[in-house]
Structure formats: structure tokens, C-alpha cells
Amino acid sequence: MNEPMLWIGAALAFFAAALVLFVVLRGRGERSGRAALESQLADLSQKLVMLQADLGGRLQQAQSGVNERLDGLGKRLGDGLAEQTEKTGETLKELQTRLAVIDRAQQNIANLSQQVVGLQDILSNKQARGALGEIQLQDIVTSILPRSAYELQVTLSRGTRVDCLLKLPNPPGPIAIDAKFPLESYVALREASEERAMVEARRAFRADVVKHLKDIAERYILPGETAESALMFLPSEAVYAEIHSNFRDVIEESYRRRVWIVSPTTLMATLNTVRAVLKDARMREQAGVIQAEVRKLLEDIGRLDDRVGRLNRHFDQTVDDIRQIRISTDKVTRWAERIEEIELGEDSPAEELEPPARQLSSE
């Protein structure tokens, strides 16, 4: 685009120079220089025509190049706009999908918030909280032990009802598990921010746990009916960790009361040990049955041995009888051969004619 403009400027400058030359020559003498000037003007006019034609061709070529470039640029801009529009559409579609996911997540959060509020309402009610602990205890026990190894909601001889009773052989005997726990003092301990409130909350929490340990020991440890120990089930690992971390005196009190504090994790480990004990007890019972059967089998084997011995003696007697028969048969055969060989005559000695029966009897 700059090259045609340069050519146009050069042509204008050349034309201006020709006019100046014309004016100068005219001033020197109109007559003497008119012919030369006209000749120069004619040459200049011819050059201007040629230059104009050349400039026209170049302008047309430049215009064609500019048009082609503009067409290419328009095509590229169109393709770029189309591609960008397509990408924008895809981005908007993905954004719409993500917004839908966010809407569902917000709905789930709202539902979860309602459920959390419902859970707080449940935990604030002692009976509902106890039922929640019983359900969790039941799920753990039923998932590990066979149905014959436990009972739920068992009434003991004193009229107290235990949440779960593990039926173990003596010793140790049936073990009671209690699933109730005072949660209010633990919540107050967690929410205490000031030092004084925290001290009071710790004191109240310690007193509640110790009282609960005492109640379990008095209600569920019955000599001759249950084992000498019981389990206090805490449905929360956080409460269990809090007691073992900051209330060592409560743990020592549980040892004195013989009430073992368990969480869901430790209860699962305890129940697996109980299952191993029950399996070992069943194996011992089956071992007694096997021993009794082995004793009966040994008795049968003894009788069989006696009968085989008698049969063996009968076989021995039969073999001896057969041997005696063979001996007699051989003797009879020999006498028959001797009789056959004897030639009867007057000089035959009398002892040669002795009956075989006499010799057989003598032998």
C-alpha cells in the first residue's frame, strides 16, 4: 500500500519541476525557447502518460493484493470467530453442568444440615441417645458373634435389664454390656471456653462417668449369675479418647469396679477375642465327645480281638486235627501197600500178617 503512494508523490514532484522549468524558460525568451519547451513538454507529457499507465497497473495490482489479503483476513477472522463461538458454547455447557452439580451439592448440604439438626435433637434426648447406642452395639455384636453367643435386652434376677449379655462358659461366665452414657457433661466440656467453665465441666464429666461405672457394677455384676466384670460401651471414639487422655483417675476407678470401658473399635477387638474363646470351648466340648467315642471304639476293638483269638484257637485245633488225620491216612496207606506186597505162603511168619488196626492203635 505504501509503494503506490510513493509513485504518486514522485509523479507530482516531476510535474511541478516541469512547470517551474516552463516558467523559467518563458522568462528568458518566449520565442527562442518555445520550440524546445514544447518538445520537452511533449516528452514530459508522454512520460507522464507512461508513468500514469504504470501507476495504474501497480495500483490495480496493489488493490488486488489488498483485496486478497482482506479476503484471507476476513476468512481467518470468520474461522476464528466460529471456533471461539464453539468453544464458548462448550464452556457455557460445562459451566451449566457444573452449576447443576453445585445445585445438587447445595441441596445435599441442606439435607445434611437438616439431618445434623435431627441428630442433635436425638442426642439431646437421653432415651433417644440410649436407643442410638443400643442400635450401634447391636450392629457390632451381630456382625461378629453367632446368634447363640449373645442375648439382647436381658432381664437379670434383680430385675435390671442389660443391653447385651455375652454367653461365655464358666469361667468367666456371662458378661454384661451397657450402652448408655451421659453425653451432656462431655458436650459442656467441649464447649467450655473459659478456664473456670472448663474446670467445672471436667468435674461434672468425671462425676457422671464415675457414677455410671458404679451403677453398672451394682446392676450387672451379680455373683453366680454373671461374670465378675462388665463392659461400658461408649458409642463415640472421641469420648473414649478424652477419658483415656485426660481422666486417668476415671480409668483407675473402672479397674477397681471391674467395669471395662470400650469404644466401637475396642469392642470389636474384644468380641473377636470372645469368638475365639467360644470356638475353643466348643472344640473342648467336641474333644470330650470324641474321647467318649474313642473309648467305645477301643471297647469294640477289644471284643473283636477276643473273638479273633478264639477263632484263631479254633483254626489251630482244626489244623491239628487235619494233621492227625493226615498221619492216620499215611499209616493206612503204608499198611495197604505192605499187604499188597506180601506173598501168602506156608512159611510166612505170623507177625507179618498182623492186622493194621493193631499197629495203628499201638502207634
Query: What is the rounded distance in angstroms from the CA atom of residue 71 to the CA atom of residue 217?
Result: 96
The amino acid occupying position 257 is R
pLDDT digits (tens, 9 = 90+) for 22-35: 655 565 555 555 66
Query: What is the rounded distance in angstroms from the CA atom of residue 361 to the CA atom of residue 350?
Result: 19
The grid coordinates listed for 339 are: 499187604
pLDDT at 359: 46
Q: Which of 268, 251, 269 is nearest to 260 (CA)?
A: 251
Query: What is the rounded distance in angstroms from the CA atom of residue 314 to the CA atom of residue 319?
Result: 9
Binned at pLDDT 50, 70 and 90, residue 252 comes out as very high
Q: Report the share of the chain in percent with pLDDT over 90.
A: 7
Query: What is the rounded distance in angstroms from the CA atom of residue 250 to the CA atom of residue 328?
Result: 103
Q: Report the share of the chain in percent with pLDDT over 70.
A: 75
Please give the residue that has the higher pLDDT: either 186 or 360. 186
Answer yes or no: is pLDDT of 83 > 60: yes
pLDDT at 346: 46
